[in-house]
Chain A
Amino acid sequence: MPVLGTSVLGKPILRKIACAAVALLLGTAAYVPSAAEAQDVISSLPRKETLILENPEGTIKNAGWFNIWAINAGGQYTGLQQLAMDTLWYIDPEKGLEGPIDNSLAAEAPKYNADFTEMTVKLRSGIFWSDGVEFTADDVAYTVETQMKNTGMRWGPILSLNVDSVSAPDPQTVVFKLKRPNSRFHALFTVRFNAIWIMPKHVFEKAPDPMRFDFNKPVSLGAYALHSFDPEGKWFIWQRRDDWQRTTLGRFGEPGPKYAVYVDGGPPDKRVIAQMNHNMDVVHDVAPEGMFTLAKQSKSSRGWFKDFPYAHPDPTLPALLFNLQRADFQSKDVRWALALLIDIKAVSMASYRGAATISAIGIPPTGTHPDDYHIPMQDWLKNFELDTGKQKIKPYDPTVGKQIADMLRPSMKEQIPTDQAAIDKSFGMGWWKPNPQAAQELLQKAGFTKRGSNWYTPEGKPFSIRVMVEGESRPVITRAGTMIAQQWRQFGIDAKTELAQGTMLDRRNSGDFDTLISWSVESYGGHPDLAYFLDSWHSQYVAPAGKPQAPRNYMRWSSPELDGIIEKIRGVGFDDPRSIELGRDYVKLAVREMPTIPLMAYNVFVAMDDTYWTGYPTAEDPYANPVPNWGNSRYMMVRLKPRGE
């Protein structure tokens, strides 16, 4: 019997297939473009005049919408808020071009009446929208009135809550009459990350419904106007306005890049690849390991710091937040015991691979805050005493930042600074010294008991703590939580990490957690006022258990003493030096009570490639925030120069 399949009949067919495959391969190999040719897909723009930045919002589903005042109606960080929007004031988290505070559309600082129920703003003249219409006080009044009428708009509720009336007595003056005293009302029009952006009255008044108006093509008040965008939401191109002098940025000179392109960078690994191929000039953030790779393999890339720890510390403070409405965490002795079981050096290594800027106090160690809070409070922290019930200890160790630097030096060598001031700036100052003995005494003081190797609550139940973390979408924070849970477990507490993934925000807001790693502290960075986050910590806003908690007091801390501090801050002006003293009172109270365990600044590994552009803001020249989705990152445009100039 013939054996099937041994015939040579198939060979011509196979030969044809093989020949076709070889031809295809040869054809592909013949066209081997360079990385730039293959991946630098901005074929329609001159690369040397184009700055490419990552938009961390990713892909914008409704890319054709630019109505930033309506909720979810298009992207925000597509360059829209950075380059096309403008408002009254900006605060830079760093030093700023001419100081952290910039009077942008406003000609000067706000003027309040004595009881903070009226705010008058003088506006700049000679500022024009990109369609040639002059910006006036009517635009500001229209912005406020339109959003007050539509509480479904982004800033509608907060304006309705505060504003009784707004008027424009002349084109350069706006007067706000407030429903109740508010010494920080102007903060709504002050960019930290964003703010209430000013609407073009002449465009929106023609739209039948401002909430369902796409604002495409957007009329710009910034130095750039929309050039083109991807309908699939992957990229947005902005072009420098010919009349850039007639914008508020024009005071600082001509913006360098003619084109700025904001692109969806994809997953972290792809962003690293894109920058190594010089196809992404400014990467918003990568994993620490990605930054280390860039620093090692790409000569043209650098972070905020030239060397380790590279990252830009955002004025945001990740911390371990207790759910203070749960019985186990209502005693400050328990909270302090848990703090003294944490070895922050191990947490820094696990989370940021050592590239963290630690903070023992509830204020981010960034911008001007160290000068206002961390440094002046060192003596107080060193002398701070904790009564464990059996002894009094001084838990603060001012050398922890230095210890982290020393720990990293053998592997990172000369990249680790030796100067103490540089170490403080890079790695932070001190933190709480691990003290298991004191932790044991504090737990016993709170009625907890140890049987065998396990701890039990005063009710006799195993002391169990779930540390909620976000999961793979925020790996650095997740690793911090895992390390803390491990350290508590080693002490005999039944601690486990809990990956919340996409449910994190819902569970945080509804109080469905024991502890979580998140942030309830966000500050200006470039200004000492703490009301930005602290006002929301007043006990008047604490929701009952089971009800959603409004930002940012997710730990639901309720303290009459804190209320007193907040109320005093409300009574003093934004720039009043007394607010710093009150801020320090908050720090002292928070140290005593430990409602959260502050960990470190939210370090953003922004990576900048100087192949095409130079003059990025850096730790050595901190003239602006480099993180490209922040509104105040616009200031870097005027200092960027094409390489070679």
Chain B
Amino acid sequence: MKTYAIYLAKRLLQFVLVVFIGINLTYVISHATPIDPVEQTISALTSFGNTSPEAIETMRESLRELYGMSGTPLEQYVSFWSRIVVGDFGPSLSAFPTPVSELILRALPWTIGLLVVATVLAWLLGNLLGGLAGYYRKNRLLKAMGLIAMGLHPMPYYVVAFVLLVVFGFLWPVLPISGGSGIGVGRGFSFDFISSVLLHSLLPALSLVVVGLGGWFLGMRALVSNIVTEDYVVYAELGGVDRRRILTSYVMRNALVPQVTGLAMSLGAIFTGAIITEEVFGYPGIGSLLVDAVHAGDYSLVLGITSVSIVAVSLAVLVIDLLYPLLDPRVQVE
């Protein structure tokens, strides 16, 4: 128990350190961007509207003050940490004065809903079919699935997404191609809204599952193919142990450990959103929000999203580290 407590303390310290370094790096990188949010805003204001050069200078000063960009870099850095420890990311610069946390909280459910379902579905299907394919190596159907997975896996995601878009949006237009729900559909716990959300998530989810499934499939098949040649599996076979039990308890369970790690990492990464998916399908999640923020030089928002992501990925790794000894008895805390 004492050993586990030391292990826990070390992992927690690592977690805090990773988060601290990660957020600092993001702060430095986002502030080093050549995109100045004030200049972006001024350009947006003046690119169409009537203005005068003299008024611009006043506007520039007002915006710098409003966006908290006045003061020395050190003052800005101290102010940033004093806010972030209490979970305040400040106002978004490109959606001023809406707080960054409000924008993230609004986008997050969409991303989590889409990506958790798609990731878990791809993981389950990929591992199940991959495990079966590794175990029943001569089955034609599984062989065919292996070929399809190998074909799909290296395909760039955006190609798959665009193919689905064209097929289901244009050639056989049976699915909506944009947005998170239908136009004019009111929010709430109603059949209209829920069915609309599900319908709108089908294409993006399908694209994620199609591409994600291949990786899990191939990984699991390779793992299982190795494990089935292990002596203990052969002895189990010779000993007349039920094959379904061999597959589930002896083979799949052992092969799952690295796959569970992979799943945890994937779930943690959900907090940055599936940028291409959300962009291609116009899905209102955190990935689209991040892209908008980068284009607008809105580093408050960029920092907010990446900080959430850093914490989420680190937390996922931490949880897996803590669960490992429980999942696999071969893994020792020391």
Bound CA–CA A31/B199 (angstroms): 12
A384 lies within 8 A of chain B by Cβ: no
Residue interface bits A506-539, CB-to-B below 8 A is 1, else 0: 1111100000000000100000000010011000
| Cβ–Cβ contact A503 & B58, under 8 A | no
| Cβ–Cβ contact B173 & A39, under 8 A | yes
Residue interface bits A189-226, CB-to-B below 8 A is 1, else 0: 01011110000000000000001100000000000000
Contact partner of A14 (CB less than 8 A), chosen from B94, B141, B175, B228, is B141
Chain A hits for B95, CB < 8 A: 61-62, 65, 72-73
The stretch among A258-266, A453-461, A611-619 that forms the contact with chain B is A258-266
Bound CA–CA A229/B292 (angstroms): 20
B185 lies within 8 A of chain A by Cβ: yes
| Cβ–Cβ contact B173 & A35, under 8 A | yes
B53-87 interface (Cβ within 8 A of A)? 53-60, 62-63, 65-66
Bound CA–CA A168/B280 (angstroms): 52
Bound CA–CA A277/B169 (angstroms): 9
Residue interface bits B90-111, CB-to-A below 8 A is 1, else 0: 0011111110000100110010
Given A10-B136, A43-B184, A73 and B97 touching (CB < 8 A)? yes
Chain A hits for B39, CB < 8 A: 505-506, 509-510, 548
| Cβ–Cβ contact B288 & A59, under 8 A | yes
A564 lies within 8 A of chain B by Cβ: no
| Cβ–Cβ contact B183 & A62, under 8 A | no
A540-559 interface (Cβ within 8 A of B)? 541, 548, 550-553
| Cβ–Cβ contact B55 & A158, under 8 A | yes
| Closest-CB distance, B248 to chain A (whole angstroms) | 11
| Cβ–Cβ contact A72 & B135, under 8 A | no
| Cβ–Cβ contact B228 & A4, under 8 A | yes
A237 lies within 8 A of chain B by Cβ: yes
A18 lies within 8 A of chain B by Cβ: yes
A33 lies within 8 A of chain B by Cβ: yes
B255-291 interface (Cβ within 8 A of A)? 279-280, 282, 284, 288-289
A418 lies within 8 A of chain B by Cβ: no
B128-143 interface (Cβ within 8 A of A)? 129, 132, 134-139, 141-142
B317 lies within 8 A of chain A by Cβ: no
Bound CA–CA A33/B170 (angstroms): 13
Interface residue tally for chain B (C-beta within 8 Å): 90
Closest chain B residue to A473, Cβ basis: B295
A263-315 interface (Cβ within 8 A of B)? 263-267, 269-270, 273-274, 276-277
B45 lies within 8 A of chain A by Cβ: yes
B48 lies within 8 A of chain A by Cβ: yes
Chain A hits for B253, CB < 8 A: none
| Closest-CB distance, A33 to chain B (whole angstroms) | 6
| Cβ–Cβ contact A32 & B169, under 8 A | no
A99 lies within 8 A of chain B by Cβ: no
Closest chain B residue to A234, Cβ basis: B179
B196 lies within 8 A of chain A by Cβ: yes
Residue interface bits A30-43, CB-to-B below 8 A is 1, else 0: 01111100110111
Given A4-B135, A273-B170, A266 and B52 touching (CB < 8 A)? no
Closest chain A residue to B200, Cβ basis: A41
Given A43-B184, A61-B98, A157 and B62 touching (CB < 8 A)? yes
| Cβ–Cβ contact A195 & B183, under 8 A | no
| Cβ–Cβ contact A5 & B93, under 8 A | no
Given A5-B228, A33-B174, A157-B56, A230 and B62 touching (CB < 8 A)? no
Bound CA–CA A503/B179 (angstroms): 28
A9 lies within 8 A of chain B by Cβ: yes
A462 lies within 8 A of chain B by Cβ: no
Bound CA–CA A41/B193 (angstroms): 11
| Cβ–Cβ contact A235 & B183, under 8 A | yes
Bound CA–CA A548/B48 (angstroms): 19
B10 lies within 8 A of chain A by Cβ: no
| Cβ–Cβ contact B40 & A232, under 8 A | no
A412 lies within 8 A of chain B by Cβ: no
| Cβ–Cβ contact B132 & A502, under 8 A | no
| Cβ–Cβ contact B184 & A228, under 8 A | yes
Bound CA–CA A419/B221 (angstroms): 70
Bound CA–CA A237/B185 (angstroms): 11
Closest chain A residue to B97, Cβ basis: A212
B23 lies within 8 A of chain A by Cβ: no
| Closest-CB distance, B207 to chain A (whole angstroms) | 14
Residue interface bits B178-206, CB-to-A below 8 A is 1, else 0: 11111111110000100010000000000
A231 lies within 8 A of chain B by Cβ: yes
A412-453 interface (Cβ within 8 A of B)? none
Given A2-B237, A38-B174, A234-B178, 19 more contacts at CB 8 Å?
A: A4-B237, A5-B137, A10-B247, A14-B141, A39-B175, A41-B181, A43-B182, A43-B185, A44-B184, A44-B185, A62-B95, A72-B95, A151-B59, A230-B179, A231-B106, A232-B180, A277-B173, A551-B47, A552-B46
8 CB-based A-B contacts, threshold 8 Å: A10-B136, A11-B139, A156-B58, A161-B58, A228-B186, A232-B179, A273-B170, A508-B43
Q: List the interface of chain B (C-beta within 8 A of A).
A: 34-36, 39-43, 45-60, 62-63, 65-66, 92-98, 103, 106-107, 110, 129, 132, 134-139, 141-142, 162, 165-166, 169-170, 172-187, 192, 196, 228, 233-234, 237-238, 243-244, 247, 279-280, 282, 284, 288-289, 292, 294-295, 297
